[in-house]
């Protein structure tokens, strides 16, 4: 547990804060031999460590060293659009340019999405400052208050020191991870979804079933993976956590009346 200074009503208090890390590992992992996660168990995909949120406002700090045409940023936005355009779930995001600098390993009062490169943070930043494995492609860090479960900050870090990157228009073609594919997984963590594993992998739980390679929230991927769609289990998980608003009966009645009033009249027959 770490401690941070927080201003509340003009008083400076020492507020305890905890951190949850979730990321995506390079490789395929053991391949399952049974049934994928059952529909009845997808609710377990939503973390219970803290109070999840359906909204996210972030600033984009640094792009990848491998991408110079700005498509790393637009790929991240497309991944957010994929999640927030789901009709089954009520998810939102907002990009807000920020002048803040990332504080690796700590909070800075802003939600940051950034590539962690040697040029900007030092050659050992990924392993020594953040404490992540070299095999971690990207990691989402969620800071929250353990007494209330309220989120303080959510950051997405892409590994630009030990990994290479590509988009549809730029980057490393051989060995480069597709930004949109990886971002889709990390954004799932932003909205509170857990990593999903297969039997034999660290972190596996019996409710996960097997054969989960097709899930966006599966914890392993490869550089040649190009899938930028969400699986049925991923969609059902966020729909369970943040169901789309259903209009009140009175609102439905007004909509029906409006449809009748706006219906074009048939011309009179001669």
What CATH architecture applies to the domain 19-262? 3-Layer(aba) Sandwich (3.40)
Helix residue ranges per DSSP H, the chain = 71-84, 118-121, 179-190, 232-241, 249-262
Percent pLDDT > 90 in the chain is 66
In this predicted structure, the answer to whether residue 6 has a pLDDT above a threshold of 70 is no
Q: Which of 54, 47, 58, 46 is nearest to 157 (CA)?
A: 58
Under 8 Å between Cβ of 85 and 239: no
Q: Alpha-carbon distance 166 to 171, whole Å? A: 4
Q: Which of 17-26, 74-83, 97-106, 128-137 has the lowest mean pLDDT?
A: 17-26
Give pLDDT tens digits for 141-200.
999 998 999 999 999 999 999 999 999 999 998 899 999 999 999 999 999 999 999 999
Mapping DSSP to helix (H, G, I), strand (E, B) and coil, where does residue 184 land? helix
In this predicted structure, the answer to whether residue 255 has a pLDDT above a threshold of 60 is no
Under 8 Å between Cβ of 64 and 171: yes
Q: Which of 25, 28, 97 is nearest to 61 (CA)?
A: 97
The Cα-based distances of 23 to 136, 139, 227 in angstroms read 7, 4, 17
**What one-character DSSP code corresponds to residue 196?**
B
In this predicted structure, the answer to whether residue 15 has a pLDDT above a threshold of 50 is no
**206 φ, ψ (degrees, to nearest 5):** -60, -30
Q: Alpha-carbon distance 253 to 247, whole Å? A: 10
pLDDT given at position 17: 56
pLDDT, average across residues 106-118 = 92
Beta carbons within 8 Å of 130's beta carbon, 6+ residues apart:
104, 105, 116, 139, 157
Beta carbons within 8 Å of 96's beta carbon, 6+ residues apart:
57, 58, 59
User: pTM for this structure?
Assistant: 0.83
Q: Hey, CA dihedral for 78, 82, 84, 85, is it positive or negative? A: positive
Give pLDDT tens digits for 193-207.
999 999 999 999 999
Beta carbons within 8 Å of 142's beta carbon, 6+ residues apart:
19, 20, 21, 22, 50, 151, 153, 154, 189
Centroid of chain to Cα 224: 20
Q: Alpha-carbon distance 38 to 33, whole Å? A: 14
């Amino acid at each position: 547990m770490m401690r941070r200074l927080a201003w509340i009503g003009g008083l400076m208090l020492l507020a305890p804060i905890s951190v949850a890390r979730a990321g995506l590992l390079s490789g395929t992992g053991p391949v399952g031999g049974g049934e994928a996660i059952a529909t009845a168990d997808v609710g377990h995909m939503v973390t219970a460590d803290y109070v999840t949120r359906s909204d996210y406002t972030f600033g984009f700090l640094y792009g990848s060293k491998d991408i110079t045409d700005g498509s790393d940023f637009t790929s991240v936005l497309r991944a957010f659009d994929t999640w927030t355009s789901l009709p089954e779930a009520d998810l939102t995001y907002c990009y807000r340019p920020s002048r803040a600098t990332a504080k690796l390993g700590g909070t800075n009062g802003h939600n940051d999405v950034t590539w962690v490169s040697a040029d900007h943070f030092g050659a050992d930043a990924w392993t020594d400052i953040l404490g992540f494995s070299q095999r971690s492609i990207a990691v989402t860090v969620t800071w929250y208050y353990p007494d209330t479960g309220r989120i303080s900050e959510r950051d997405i870090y892409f590994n630009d020191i030990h990994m290479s990157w590509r988009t549809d228009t730029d980057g490393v073609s051989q060995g480069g991870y597709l930004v949109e594919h990886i971002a889709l997984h990390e954004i799932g963590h932003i909205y509170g979804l857990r990593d999903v594993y297969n039997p034999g992998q660290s972190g596996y739980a019996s409710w996960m079933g097997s054969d989960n390679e097709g899930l966006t929230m599966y914890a392993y991927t490869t550089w040649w993976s190009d899938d930028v769609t969400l699986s049925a289990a991923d969609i059902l998980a966020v729909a369970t956590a943040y169901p789309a608003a259903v209009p009140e009966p009175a609102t439905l009645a007004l909509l029906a009346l409006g449809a009748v009033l706006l219906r074009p009249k048939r011309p009179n027959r001669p």
